[in-house]
Amino acid sequence: MSCCLHFGIIQNIEQKKNYCPNPNDHIDFKDVLKLYNCISVPDDIVNDWIPLTTNMPTFLFSLDNEYKGLDHYAVTLIPPNSVKMFLETVSFYQKENPGEKTIKELISLLKIAIENNKYIICFGI
């Protein structure tokens, strides 16, 4: 099985928080994924999307680090105004790969984030 990127919803974004898991906090990464109700998507699928997100405003690790697109190896924060752009990319991919269960789950997660004006967090590999 390939590596995965993990996508979840941040219920209450914190302006100054660094969302990169800190090993000094002694929190198991599985617990971090549960905290955000993450969907795990295989790396080989997400690789196809990364070039399509280069114009999508995002942040790396915290809201202090503006970025564009998804970072394959970092923690990317996708603001509510960019979640719709990301949903379009994922939906297009789903049309090309209709049997991919994780994509359907991710689409549902993105729709919930849009409805509730929430940030998406993506933990890279």
Is there a contact between 74 and 61 (Cβ–Cβ < 8 Å)? yes
- Note the pLDDT tens digit of each residue in 3-29: 999 999 999 999 999 999 877 777 888
Coil, strand or helix at 39: strand
The answer to pTM > 0.85 is: yes
- Note the pLDDT tens digit of each residue in 81-123: 999 999 999 998 877 777 778 999 999 999 999 999 999 999 9
Residue written as token pair 């969907």: 39
Residue written as token pair 């960019």: 82
**What CATH fold (topology level) applies to the domain 4-123?**
Hypothetical protein yfbM fold (3.40.1760)
- Per-residue confidence (pLDDT) for residue 1, from 0 to 100: 43
Domain ranges of the chain: 4-123
